[in-house]
Structure 1
Amino acid sequence: MKRPTIPDLAEAAGVSVSTVNRVLNEPGQVRKPTKDRVLHAAEAIGFYGLGTITHAVKSSQTTHRLGVLLQRGARTFYKNIGDAISRFAAEQDGVNIEMTVEFLEDLTPEKVASHIVSLGERVEALALVAPQHPLVADAIDTILDRGVPVVSLIGPLTAQGNISFVGLDNWKVGRTAAWAFDKMVREPGKIGILVGSHRLRNQEMNESGFRSYFREHNSGFTIMEPMTTYESAAVAREHVEQMLTEHPDMCGLYISGGGITGAIAALRNTPKRSDFVAVGYELFDDTRSALIDGTLSFIISHPMERFARETVTTMLKAKTGGREAGAHRVTFGFDIYTPESV
């Protein structure tokens, strides 16, 4: 087959040969919809100058340098968030987004604050998951003062400056988890709770909503003090094993924070009880299999594609709107999964 020529491309795009030449040589003189049409036609016919046309189209677009800072990349949940955000940014037509996604292994406030400042120097808007801490707040104010807007993900953050938020209504998450226990547990009893960190405000709000439901609807349950996993599966497993040993009469476990794979391993290592209910957070391969085999009873999860879309959209709004636009708050509904729905 002969190589497609400029006349072939013009015919495929439904434009004149002179228009194709202007796209190649004077892209600034051609309207964006026309350039997009020529680009799509070049992709379809395998035009030899595709790279030139792509550059011509993108060179006329404003480039947005966006950054996302997440916690440990080895955790499936955060890896899935990073992948979804990167994929959504890359798929946007008519906007050129340079997306930088980075993960933090050391979650001490000093390291988190240092990384916020470092990434904030390289991007024009920053979204992050971080604990609430004075050092973190100071780092956020540092980059806000440089004109870089900040969007907190999953859990809200506060600083002296305005911070946008994208995530779930965490108080509702906690009350929904409590509702699940209330409806599924046969006889009210003790419920254990795991949280990743008391400085992750989404988990604190989850617990607050969880307890408020039982105060309002069923005081027969005993809600145990939460145990901190520090987002570690190994620590979570130790805590669950300890709770099951010290409280054999537990009727349920609420895994509100990180380390759910460790909690699943501990539950699988004990004899199954038909009267025991476990509620977890986020759907991925490990939690899905735990639902199927009955280790978990109920999962509350972020709708990942919508989360990615709202994150990128909010970052662009915050960047283009400037300081005068104020903070943006975006909350959306969560997904619920049971053994019969996966």
Structure 2
Amino acid sequence: MLALACTAATAQDRTVRIATFNSELIRKGPGLLLRDILKGKDPQIAAFKTVLVEIRPDIIALQGIDHDLRSTALHALADDLAQAGLDYPYRFTAAPNAGQATGLDLNGNGKLGDADDNHGYGRFNGMGGMAVLSRYPIQQDRIEDYTPLLWRDLQGHIYPMQDGAPFGGVQVFETHRLSSRGHWVVPVTVPDIGPVRLMTFHASPPVYDGAEDRNGRRNHDEVAFWLDYLRRDDNTAPFAILGTANTDPARGDGRPEAITALLAHPRLQNPFDDSPTADFRDPVPGDLRVDYLLPSSGWRVVDHGMVSAPDASRHSLLWVDVTPADP
């Protein structure tokens, strides 16, 4: 009996709660998110804090959070959470492609300077970036940031072509980045477990383009990036792929091949069913499964859940409790 009790206690000690949440903490201009955090009266931010304090993830990947040069808004938000009893001393964010000017006509509409002509769609630099908050140390010097990766450098890419030439011309093809926001691999050192890798991203919606299907193809390849990464990856540390893929394998627009392959990948688990994770406008695009949390096969999934917080975001928060699969 004592041995069984010790085994249960050890398993509980080695359980970590990982979450992902597209928080939609996006404002109309730079500095406005920080303003709203500091004022302390914003109902969306209050709802965001409520759901995080309720779920209490050990590590959470956030999408849709405005980025600034010194990460001031993220630190202010984390400090606010700490005052509510949820302390994340370890934080990571980096500049997304969103809002970074290219000086080129990426969307092919004959005009320069559109929000869609930036490396990622954004009305200002840093609009709708990503972040990681953690109770445990983030190995900052071992983070892999693939945000600058050129689309053409992805093996097997499906960049749009027109009349035998790259859409937008050769200069656009040689400049166009893959990530609309970013692709990161963030290692976190979890006590009694060791390094845990968060592979997180936020892909472009596969809509708002023309017959060339630039966004649909980009969305597919942003998801396919992880298939290529896993082909090359020989790291045995447990991991999870998590974030907003912005494509549903069975509903809505988009090319489902990459997300379908990812869901069936032998190195991944898919503990969630096909229920929608986002409540979009009806009837189009409607409710879709666009957010994912896929633990690697090195984990045993103890529990998992999805929490809707409509006052905070159209997207649900996804969480898993995982422990190493080895005894």
TM-score (normalised: structure 2): 0.31
Question: Which is helix-richer, 1 or 2?
Answer: 1
TM-score (normalised: structure 1): 0.30
Which of structures 1 and 2 has the bigger CA Rg? 1
